[in-house]
Structure 1
Amino acid sequence: MWKVIIAEDEPFVRRMLIKKVKWEALGFRIIGEAANGREALELMRVERPDLVISDIMMPIMDGLELLKQSREDGMASRFVMLTCMNEFEYARQALELGAIGYILKASMSIPSLTESLIKISKDLQEEKTKQQEWNALKFQAYYEQLWTYATLSKEAAPPIHPFLFEKEYTKVRIKLVLHGEAQLPEYECLDKRHESVIHYYGKEGLMIIFEWLSEGRTLPAGHDDAGFGNAGHLVHRSEWVLAAELPNLMMEQLNVLTNEWYGNAPLLLSKPYDRTYSLAWSMEKNILAAMEQVKREELYRLIHLIWEELQSRKVLFSIVREAAGRLDESLGRISGVKHVWHGRLKALTHEALREEWGNRMETHLEKLFLSKGEWSEHPEINKVMRHVQEHYAGNLTLKSVAKLVSIEEHYLSRLFTQKTGSNLISYIQRVRLEKAKRLLEETQLPIGEIGASVGLQNDNYFVKLFKKWYGETPGSYRRRQQEAKTYKR
């Protein structure tokens, strides 16, 4: 409902306007009456009406002065002036000051007034929509700055919200809800509800609900934001604070959430809630190298170290989730796994994310094995192939591998050939020789040392086996590769 004030010194004109016009049916509500301009101005300063129907000639303060004073106060209420036949010059002045029209008292037509109100309502709605869109852009930019300040830039100057120096949105409280989904709407603005305005802002699986109050407004008794706490894991809802205090409130509440993210574990280092920590590049580089070389045990060792490091520093939970997603994307480029996991995080705690990461790592490894043609539909055969890939330099025999999967040797040999098209001994040889080829290409290690490093301790056997597989000796292969590199340069 659009709010209306009627300012008219003649009581019978006020009564006629109130009774004859179907205000509510047209979307308007009379919120006050005034017998002169001063009363009307005081009422406007409290109620902030959308429309004022004002007589031009009134005692104490006339309609023109009322219009002028309201504009100086920054009020944008629409004005429709009531005038007599001999007041056309005043009506013209009113239009110059911003009134949207005037009505002749002597020939006042309710149908004509109704038609004018319909147009005014349409104009108000269009203006409100444009203002909401503009406000949304302002708040979206503000929330981005607020998030950056609260999570990364503790030493930077806190952002100032775009309406701090206006009469609206002077108090705020926030509610933090950690969701199982990381992809949330970046921004959504709802209309007024119980005199407050609700905004949503989502980052890294966290929904922050901002509730704003205009100056001088108080919520009805028992008011609450029911319906906003059950979709995820509610962490905390703050008390009302002044708008200028919001940046520090955000930081404080994120600390509360971070502490809960780690299960309220004791801080192991002196600096709490580290906002600037990022995974050391050397550690990420080692993880990517381990993935490329399909070193399963090394991968899990490094991931374990990272998780312990994050917890010991109590790194802000949002940075943890962002880093997990970024690292997963890098691993996906190696394994060929499409990067969709980050948008479907279910974890609500550090330990739960660690478990999710373990499952995701298996997905990467399985896809990598599959892309190398080293994967089957049989889980035990896959286990054998993984073991060979990771322990090719060790003493691999049919007996030792059969013991690993608790399958009888002859049956394992037949099953491996059936599922992979290659016998186990040939598979072990191929893995070792492929590793040797890479060392021949990338290092200057002696040939005998390369053979020993891939599990072929006898130099002659290594050379003989290499030639059998590739039609040339290791030395010949190395020279050919070096010549090819020289030619490319």
Structure 2
Amino acid sequence: MWTVLLVEDEVFVRESVREIISWEELGFTVIGESGNGTEALELITRERPDLVLADIVMPGMNGIELLKQTRQAGLNTKFIMLTCMSEFEYVRQAMEYGASNYILKLSMSVNSLRDTLRKVSMELSALSAGARRPDSPETEMDGEADPLVTDAAYKEGTAPAHPRPRGFSGLVQPVVAHPEISKIIEYIGHNYDQDITVKSMSRYVMMGENYVSALFKKKTGYTLIHYLHGVRMEKAAAFLRETDLAVHEVGHRVGFVSDNYFIKIFRRWTGCTPSQYRHRANTATEPEIV
């Protein structure tokens, strides 16, 4: 059974939500209720429910702040927001912080609530089944085996001397409106040689891992690890072109503990090994300046 916490300051609405649904038939059990956000946050932290149904507008801590603080605590609890028609700006904020859905209180029906709960149950089941972790560097780019520059291109002599990482726009940091994602991008730019994972970045901005992973992809177009690899490959390429550092030293300087893994990722992004890249960069002829 998935556990549920009901958070609504209007007792009549809270009781109605509890009574109109056969929770256990849908795989849920209500473990508690609260009439305000402050008390609810304590319950969430202590009981760690799988799902919270929360009113958006409540005295004291509202539903948005409750969701935000839950994410900052590193909890991935699902949220369904209860709202009135005039509160859509709040709904937008709630979805930004990772709410699964919202329900209009004035038109709430058994069917709409049941459909939403089924959707959340499917999401919880998928997570419970062990969906692939977004911060696993060995699997993050598996299946992306189409590098920008292929070995055939080098054999044919048509490859550029300085191939760009595939699908990456370079070291110009993307400008995004979300403050936490901007903070992560800036951190990566200055600390790309450190051990960076989705987990460490979620702790850095005090948000849940799944939320940070999805939000980073939404705001930048890249997964967090894909973006990190892009930054590292750009830095590695510069080291190879501009210094005589050994390949293993270049790998270590851009954040790879394993030499083999560094070479594997570099080849995947550029189509050649670091040594091949350096050789082709050093032997490339510069155009004559007239």
Q: Give the alignment's TM-score, normalised by structure 2.
A: 0.45
Q: Give the alignment's TM-score, normalised by structure 1.
A: 0.27
Greater relative CO (CA pairs within 8 A, separation 6+): 2
Q: Which has the larger radius of gyration?
A: 1
